[in-house]
Amino acid sequence: MMVHRRVDPTNQCFFLILSPRDGIPVCRYNSPMPFATLDSIARKSVRSVQDYAILSGRAIFNLFRQPRYVDDIFSQADIIGVGSIPIVILTGFFTGAVLAVQSASSLATFGATALTGTLVSLSMIKELGPVLTSLMISGRNASGMASELGSMMVTEQIDAMRALGTDPIKKLVVPRMVATVVMNFFLTIISDFVGILGGAWVAVFLLGQSGSQYFHTTYQSLVYADVVQGLVKPVFFGFIIASVGCYFGMSTRGGTQGVGRSTTQAVVFASVLIIVIDFIITRFMIGIFGR
Amino acid sequence: MPAAAPETAASRYPPKPGEPPVVFDDVSIRFDRNEVLRNVSFKVNAGETRLLLGPAGSGKSVLMKLANGLIRPDSGRIFIFGYEITAMSEDELFELRASVGMVFQEGALFDSMNIRDNVGYQLMERHISDDEVDRRVEESLKFVELDKTMEKFPSELSGGMRRRVAIARAIIAKPSLLLYDSPTGGLDPITSTNIIALVMKQRDVYHTSSILITHRLQDAFMLATHYFDRDKNMMVTLPSGEADRDTSFMLLHEGRLVFDGTTHELVHSDDPFLKEYLA
């Protein structure tokens, strides 16, 4: 098939393709220039942000309205929370261990290896615990939500639910949102705890430091502001994971290929959003607490 | 299905007496730049079955979703049982839909639930007792002759069985209006005939108003030229030349309603498109 550029005399067609069968030119792109699609991309992006905001707003609004699907909240909490415990423990433990190894070698330069516990605990509680836990939960659950709701969308199960008189936001989105926010909060605490234990394991068994000194400096270095910062973040991140996962699931179009696309997009957007919002929350918290 | 009366007394939107179940008034809808339905107007009277025909992509499924308020038109008004659904909120529509049963193209059964929970979903949502749900589900599954499948999952059933379960789910709350979106699409002729027999049974035994989309002309004409004999529990052909008075046809073509009339008017039409379509 031959492709000719700008041979359309009316200049309305960017590419004319000559049909191999009869040689009749067929317009491939109805645009005088490829960048004319920029406006449609911008429109689509704005519409997506609007749809996401509407879905999130409706989910929050429906938190306070009947009917409440408490059983579904517990079922989702089991899938999202209990099901994620192994990966959160492994990630937290080895992150703490790596932090201890890295910080100990740097601190040794200044003869301050006694501060290993301080570094590990502050890094884990303020930053790595919430962010890494949320990224793991996002990889596991935002994708799960997007693919599950996406499959329901393309097989008309969501429409069937609406036709049967059930609001899919109340039945599907709200339970996932509540479960993710609550479980992400507790999973972050678990991650922080095992991260500090991972650091202790390295400090005591590999670096030969005193265990009591490690835990003492860990405890002494933490103040109220650090703990608040570490516990506020997973609440926001949990909301991002569930809302992004559900949004991409509920906006799935185009069969199984669309489900795959939604799943990938949900993980990518949720992960990027977590890191961006982390920066904003950190800046805000430092502004309030001064550290 | 012992009682024909719709179970909608508790609804805030019970069918208004004397109002036709469905009225489309100059309805148009477009997706992006593609006009899917253009100035469509028609009415479904109480107890009437409207057979909606048309080539693929003519807007039949969109019309069905509009009739249930699942999508909203760009212009025009739609009334269900006298309520203007185009002016109702989504929450109000959830209540109105208690009077409407819908069978989706591929069944749209919830694949994570067993057949009992699928069929009894609407009742469970209304917090009806488990015993009552079991009884009603069994009754509804008996109607579609699938009462042995309660504990199975949709993936364990054949395509035809899934459609029958979808019908059982749609009729369990005894709706006053049934919307069938291609219930026989993609099925073999024998299974299609069984499904049509169920639709006919619902029409002739319970006199439920309905709209049925089909690509298969033989299914449409079978509905128009047969009636369901309750005593024999089977379809019976009407005398030659006769057609069911409560069954009529609509034909969509490129988003426009090009025909709205009786079986007799359809087969005797001189319209070239209709002749070609029916040929």
- Residue B166 near residue B104, CB atoms below 8 Å: yes
Q: Tell whether B186 is within 8 A of chain A (Cβ).
A: no
Q: Tell me whether B91 touches chain A (CB under 8 Å).
A: yes
Beta strands B49-53 and B209-213 are parallel
Residue B230: the pLDDT is 86
Confidence of residue A7 (pLDDT cuts 50, 70, 90): very low
Q: Do the chains contact at A165 and B104, CB–CB below 8 Å? A: no
- Write out the DSSP string of B86-149: GGS-HHHHHHHGGGEEEEBTTB---TTS-HHHHHTHHHHHTT--HHHHHHHHHHHHHHTT-TT-
Residue of A61, A156, A167 to mutate for B, most B C-beta atoms under 10 A: A156
CB-based contacts of B89, cutoff 8 Å, min separation 6:
none
CB contact under 8 A, A167 and B104: no
Minimum Cα–Cα distance from B105: chain A residue: A156
User: Is residue A231 scored above 90 in pLDDT?
Assistant: yes
Which pLDDT belongs to residue B2? 37
Contact A52, A247 (CB under 8 A): yes
- Give CA–CA dist B129/A217, Å, rounded: 59
How many Å apart are CA B202 and CA A190, to the nearest integer?
A: 57
Classify B227 as helix, strand or coil: strand
Stretch A163-167: mean pLDDT:
93
And the tokens for A251?
Answer: 């906006």
Collapsed DSSP state (helix, strand, coil) of residue B12: coil
* CA B135 distance to own-chain centroid: 24
User: Which CATH number applies to B22-278: 3.30.2420.10, 3.40.50.9100, 3.40.50.300, 3.40.50.720?
Assistant: 3.40.50.300
Residue B140 contacts residue B119 (beta carbons within 8 Å): yes
Instruction: Give the mean model confidence (pLDDT) for residues A264-290.
Output: 94
CA distance B87 to chain A (A): 17
Instruction: Give yes or no for A160 touching B (CB within 8 A).
Output: yes
How much is the pTM? 0.84
Percent of chain A with pLDDT over 70: 88
For chain B, the domains span: 22-278
A193 contacts A235 by C-beta, under 8 angstroms: no
**CB-based contact, B128 to chain A, within 8 Å:** no
- A262 CA: distance to closest CA in chain B (Å): 20
Which residues make beta-bridge pairs with B100?
B177
Which parts of chain B register pLDDT below 70?
Answer: 1-11
Q: Which two tokens stand for residue B185?
A: 């699409």
Q: Is the pLDDT of residue A2 over 70?
A: no
Tokens of B212: 């049925």
Mean pLDDT of A244-268: 94
Tokens found for residue A86: 């192994």
pLDDT of residue B3: 37
Please report which confidence band the pLDDT of residue A137 belongs to, taking 50, 70 and 90 as the band edges. Answer: very high
What's the pLDDT score for residue A6? 39
Whether chain A has a CB inside 8 Å of the CB on B100: the answer is yes
Residue B103: per-residue pLDDT: 94
Taking only the tens place, the pLDDT of each residue in A35-83 is: 557 888 888 899 999 999 999 999 999 998 888 899 999 999 999 999 9
DSSP H or E stretch at residue B179: strand B177-180
Query: Where does chain A have alpha helices with state H?
Result: 37-62, 70-80, 85-109, 116-123, 129-137, 143-154, 157-163, 168, 174-201, 211-221, 224-250, 255-289
With a CB cutoff of 8 Å and minimum separation 6, the contacts of A153 are A249, A250, A251, A252, A253
| DSSP for A19-71, written as a single string | -TTT--EEES--SSSGGGHHHHHHHHHHHHHHHHHHHHHHHHHHTTSS---HH
Find the closest chain B residue to A164 by CA distance. B122
Instruction: Say if B109 is an interface residue toward chain A (CB within 8 Å).
Output: yes
What is the distance in angstroms between the Cα of A151 and the nearest Cα belonging to chain B? 10
Q: Is the dihedral of CA A277, A278, A280, A285 positive or negative?
A: positive
Which pLDDT score is estimated for B10?
A: 54
DSSP characters over A159-191: HHHHHTT--HIIIIIHHHHHHHHHHHHHHHHHH
Amino acid (one-letter) located at B20: P
Calpha distance A152→A161 (Å, rounded): 10
Question: Mean pLDDT throughout A123-145?
Answer: 95
How many CB atoms are located within 10 Å of the residue A220 CB? 11
Q: A174-201 and A85-109 are packed helices; what angle lies between their axes, rounded to 10 degrees?
A: 40
A187-207: per-residue pLDDT in tens?
Answer: 999 999 999 999 999 999 998
Give the pLDDT of residue B273: 87
Q: Which residues of A touch B109 (CB under 8 A)?
A: 157, 160
Question: Across the interface, do B111 and A166 touch by the CB < 8 Å criterion?
Answer: no
Min Cα–Cα distance to chain B from A140, Å: 19
Question: Please, which pLDDT band fits residue A8 given cuts at 50, 70 and 90?
Answer: very low
